[in-house]
Amino acid sequence: MPLLAAEAKGKRRRKKGMENDNLTGYLFILPFLIGFFALTVFPVAMSLYLSFTNYDMLGTPRWIGLDNYERMLMDDTKFIKSIKVTLFYVFTAVPFRLVFALAIALLLARLVVLKGVYRTLLYLPSVIGGSVAVSVMWRQLFGNEGALNSILAKLGLPTVSWLGDPSYAIWTLILLYGWQFGSSMLIFLAGLKNIPASYYEAAEVDGAGPWRRFINITIPLLTPIILFNVVMQTIQGFMAFTPSYIIFEDGRPLNSTLLYVLYMFQRAFTFFDMGYASAMAWLLLLVIGLFTALIFKSSSYWVHYESEGER
Amino acid sequence: MQARRKAVIKLAGEQLLLLALTFMMLYPLLWMVAGSFKDNGTIFTTAHSLLPNRLDFSSYIEGWKGFGGVTFATFFLNSTIITLLSTFGSVASSALIAYGFARIRFRWKKVWFVCMMLTMMLPFEIIMVPQYVMFNWFGWIDTYWPLILPTLFGTPFFIFLIMQFIRTLPHEMDEAAKIDGCGKFAIFSRIIVPLIVPAMMTCAIFSFYWRWDDFMGPLLYLNKPQLYPVSLGLKMFSDPDSITNWSALFAMSTLSVVPVFVVFFLFQRYIVEGISTSGLKG
């Protein structure tokens, strides 16, 4: 992590030029402290409290203990469905985006001519990725009379109701997620640039082919960056909302696109079931925490950190 | 000779592959722009085509009228106000906080730093419900406060990015200024700020993107069309039940991303560096 390196650097420097100055220090970070307590700690604590209550924003919150959690896990089939949809989405869309980003980064890294131009053009979809315009465009692209069906028809193939068929609908969202591979691509490119060319030369002298070099040099040296990407993209994947809301509104067809955050949003702002929505938010926080911990935990088996001594 | 021919073929192959790939990736965007020039009758019969059969801007004029008597001029103005205020606020306060963390020693600094990094990992969606309840108590529904106020307390990602930048600056100048009698704030405003302009630019650009594209915030807090930013206006404009003028929808979609593209092409350097060095979402 760059963070640790920076911390270590800070420590070395601290000896010269920095003395204790509590008042000034706190004055400078005061905005952060106010925001942290008023807009993070307080809401998080409040949502924990609300998750044990029944609250519709009109009356006062009524304490109901674990009822929300019980209802969620035992009775709410829509909730279970949203979990299934979200897990499927995350485990398909995130690897899809990352593999794609890595493949393109590898292709770009060895390019000599027009490298910058391709990098810019391929990053473009990510620039406007989160915008409403893209989701609106996607809806038309995959619509019954959209561009994709028009091409299929031209080729003499049967057209498909991409947005109306429960087995295809979620794939349009996965494709949209994969299409915005730009930032992962840039991060991979930066990582590839840091691999010393001498490693490859040495391997070539030893008679290693391109595939061996990729498996034994590129991948191991990229693992810290892959780890970082996997963590960030997984969190982002769990949070997906705007495209599903704009393209499918309420998770249609047959709740096949009912992503977790979309359902949470419905519970909170369509039904004003704030207690239930808070319980959902807490469960989501736990799930993300768990996944992040698992990824980090597993990282000792597959992430390769170059120690200073080795070089 | 043989080797050279092989190299040429390889080069051509690479270029061809990338060209095809880039075209495929940009097709949806080109298609959106093309759709804004097609007339409604032909828009679906030649749905996949990138060449409009005419080139007139009537769909732009038609779309600009918006809905319910509110034009897109209002939406664009609202977006501009929200984006500028929140970008300015978040970059300025982030720089201040970053300086505090990077250059001043005070008690429990480590603790607060860890808190900040944790906040960076905490998605907005987790606190959206209680924050809504809270801002509702304050009577801030249908105002811009819920969208702008949270940005005034700094953005953890920006704080981190600027901190990393400040750490690369030599301490000697701080020392010299101190000897000349400058206090910490003078050092910050006169010496550090001019030096960290590139980092602040990167942050400002990211902030611009996020605020301009922000959809969930306005969706939660704004109910009056006069207050809508472009993102929410476009969503309402695009409601499948009400819209019949598809080319106008494409036209307004295209317009809504123009500012983002302009900023991207003007400041590309900062963005690529920002993502590659700090490695975060974009």
Torsions phi, psi of B70, nearest 5?
Answer: -105, 125
Shortest CA gap B56–chain A (Å): 20
In a domain, A30, yes or no: no
CB neighbour burial string for B137-176, b if at least 16 within 10 angstroms, e if fewer: eeebeeebebbbbbbbbbbbbbbbbbbbbbbeeeeeebee
What's the count of helices (H) and strands (E) in chain A, helices before strands?
A: 16, 2
Q: Evaluate whether the domain defined by B61-278 bears CATH number 1.10.3720.10.
A: yes
Domain count for chain A, please give it: 1
Report yes or no: A245 and A303 within 8 Å, Cβ to Cβ.
no
**CB-based contact, A122 to chain B, within 8 Å:** yes
In a domain, A5, yes or no: no
The Cα B180–Cα B195 span in angstroms is 19
Q: Do A182 and B282 touch (CB under 8 A)?
A: yes
Q: How many A/B residue pairs have CB atoms within 8 Å?
A: 279
In a domain, A192, yes or no: yes
In a domain, A23, yes or no: no
| Interface test mutation site (partner A, options B22, B129, B158, B168, max chain A beta carbons within 10 A) | B129
User: What is the secondary structure of A204-215 as a DSSP string?
Assistant: HHTT--HHHHII
Segments of A31-149 assigned E as strands: 53-54, 62-63
- For position A143, which CATH number holds? 1.10.3720.10
Report yes or no: B75 and B230 within 8 Å, Cβ to Cβ.
yes
- In the block, tokens 């720089």 appear at B95
Pairing state between β A53-54 and A62-63: antiparallel
The Cα A259–Cα A241 span in angstroms is 7
Q: Do A31 and B268 touch (CB under 8 A)?
A: no
In a domain, A28, yes or no: no
In a domain, A21, yes or no: no
Domain boundaries, chain B: 4-12+15-58, 61-278
pLDDT for position B51: 73
pLDDT tens for each residue of chain B, 282 residues long? 678 888 888 888 888 999 999 999 999 999 888 888 877 666 656 667 777 766 778 888 888 988 888 999 999 999 999 999 999 999 999 999 999 999 888 989 999 999 998 888 888 888 999 999 999 999 999 999 999 999 999 999 999 989 988 988 888 888 888 888 888 888 898 889 998 998 899 899 989 999 999 999 999 999 999 999 999 999 988 876 666 678 888 899 999 999 999 998 888 877 776 666 655 443
Torsions phi, psi of A17, nearest 5?
Answer: 80, 5
pLDDT for position A155: 85
Q: Who among A6, A133, A285 is closest to B253 (CB)?
A: A133
Please name every residue paired with A53 in a beta bridge, in sequence order, or none if there are none. Answer: A63
Report yes or no: B38 and B53 within 8 Å, Cβ to Cβ.
yes
In a domain, A294, yes or no: yes
Range of the domain at A237: 76-310
Stated pTM of the model: 0.88
In a domain, A275, yes or no: yes
Q: Do B264 and A125 touch (CB under 8 A)?
A: no
The Cα A197–Cα B117 span in angstroms is 34
Which residues of chain A are modeled with pLDDT < 70? 1-19, 306-311
Please name every residue paired with B70 in a beta bridge, in sequence order, or none if there are none. Answer: B67
Q: Which residue in chain A is spatially nearest to B151 when comparing CA positions?
A: A35
